[in-house]
Chain A
Amino acid sequence: MSVFDLQHGTVVLGGRRILEEVSVTVDEGEFVAILGANGSGKTTLVRTLVGLNPLEAGTLTVFGTPLARFREWPRLGYVPQRLSVGGGVPATVGEVVASGRTGRLSRFRRFSRDDRAAVAHALEDVGLSDRAGDPVATLSGGQQQRVLIARALAGEPEVLVLDEPTAGVDADSQDTLAGALGHLSNNGGSVVLVAHELGPLAGLIGRAVVLSHGQVQSDGPPPQPEGHHAAPGHVHVHPHADEQPPSTFGLDR
């Protein structure tokens, strides 16, 4: 069964057509990268997939159900494009990650042992177990990005949608992230990853959808690094590569 099935999706934001007739399918267990230059519509596409942008035209099903009737939200995990965790009041790493379970809990139920275990597991996955009691604001940018991912993981989703989780993140955090996503993928989970630079994640990608000016430019095997840039860490989409064919990916470093 497909996790997401978007057919001929058109999205209009602020009076502008941002996505034009975009069709993307993500099957269960797939690891799909969404690539493309800045402003090509990657964020808009994943926000549309998780139901945050209305469709002007086209159809979208999530786990086989039309979005309007979809109710099994705990099956989805979403990591938005953010520079920091945010919020005007201090919160501990543990509190933020635990909030990722909220959608699974009924209003009057207490946080159970299972809930605590899921939170501990998520923290472990991103290598922040020892920081659970620290205020989020005291963490580095890369660590905060990991907190956002742990929050999504704590909900034990079947599919994880991540919007540029590696932007501006140190090499250490990128490796940890690759480990966590590999783990999820190996256990049958699906991943939709918006990335601008794949880095250590390149080896995990099964398929790449490349966007350009709000349309799908290509959809297929991930761009292969070429020549002496063959190390997976060198797969790289240039911010202004919009007009160039996908075959040039990896050549600009």
Chain B
Amino acid sequence: MTILAFDFMRRGLIAALLVGFAAPSIGTFLVQRRLSLTGDGIGHVAFTGVGLGVLLRTSPVLTAVVVSILGAVLIEVVRERAQASGDVALALLFYGGLAGGSILIKLAGGTNSALGGYLFGSLSSVSSGDLAVIVTLSLVVLATMLVFLRELFAVCQDEDVAHVSGLPVRFLNLLVAVGAAVTVTVAMRTVGLLLVSALMVVPVATVQLLSRSFRGTLYGACLLGAVMSVGGLVLSYYADVPPGGSIVVLSLTGFLVAAIAASVRKRVVR
């Protein structure tokens, strides 16, 4: 395997593996609440964080974490108060995030290719410092989801009933929001900010075509996410395309296969 001969590839593969596990673990709860596009929103907002990091000459991952957590909390507050205008408020936040990032990066003298790396992922960009951050944060996200699994399921299933059960609903909602924000920044190097949401949502959408239970969907999606993430990264190395693109195309292909399998199964059962 010549692919493993390069340090940056080894780092990239480890990052892809962990991100592949972590992203669908958050994604399952977003899909459960029908908030599949939240990850996209946070990705847009995180872009401003990246721009800020480049401008301030500090680690863009760090500033992206901070800004996207702020964005995710803001999105959650808007969701909680959601009236008819909630949808528009979110849209404004998304556009602002993307526009802010593009301006800040240009102000800092960044190049278009650096910009593309953040938006669509880049193979060579995971430094060993980045890897330490990615590994730590992915494990924290996964552990948190596991510890709060039961409560998160109850809250995402029915918020009112969770309230009356005495669960800390607002805390749990913020946990999902912050978890999503952390996952977005962790996945930024490999899949890129514009495609990170796909890694959260597509494995869940795929597995739920074939599974019956919530647990089955959650664990299946994490496994599938890891396979697709690593597979897509390898593909990007050999095909010389941005990893975000190959990971998502591979995931979507998996979705198509599962959709066909599900419809065949339905016909056979009938």
Contact = CB atoms under 8 A, between A and B. Distances in A.
Contacts of B147: 107-108
Interface string A70-92: 01011011101010011111111
Contact of B31 (A71, A88, A135): A88
Interface stretch (B14-22, B105-113, B212-220, B251-259): B212-220
A56 interface: no
A85 B158 CA distance: 8
Classify the secondary structure of A's interface with B.
loop
Given A103-B165, A103-B167, A87 B211 contact: no
Interface hub of A73, A77, A91, A92 (most chain B Cβ within 10 A) = A91
Interface stretch (A94-102, A188-196, A202-210, A227-235): A94-102
Contacts of A105: 150
Interface in B146-174: 147-148, 150-151, 153-154, 156-158, 160-167
A96 B162 CA distance: 12
A95 B149 CA distance: 12
Given A99-B154, A102-B150, A105-B150, A91 B214 contact: yes
B40 to A, nearest CB: 16
A11 to B, nearest CB: 15
Contacts of B126: none
B165 A91 contact: no
Interface string A135-154: 10000000000000001100
A68 interface: no
Classify the secondary structure of B's interface with A.
helix
Interface hub of B33, B36, B157 (most chain A Cβ within 10 A) = B157
A134 B212 contact: yes
Interface residues of B, number: 33
B64 to A, nearest CB: 27
A73 B165 CA distance: 5
B1 to A, nearest CB: 36
A135 B147 CA distance: 24
Contact of B214 (A89, A102, A107, A134): A89
A152 B157 CA distance: 13
Given A80-B161, A91-B214, A95-B215, 16 more contacts: A51-B163, A73-B165, A77-B164, A82-B158, A85-B157, A87-B156, A89-B31, A89-B214, A90-B212, A90-B214, A99-B150, A99-B153, A102-B151, A102-B154, A103-B165, A133-B212
9 contacts: A76-B164, A80-B160, A87-B33, A87-B157, A88-B32, A90-B212, A90-B213, A95-B214, A102-B162
Interface of A: 47, 50-52, 71, 73-74, 76-78, 80, 82, 85-92, 95-96, 99-100, 102-103, 105, 107-108, 133-135, 151-152, 155
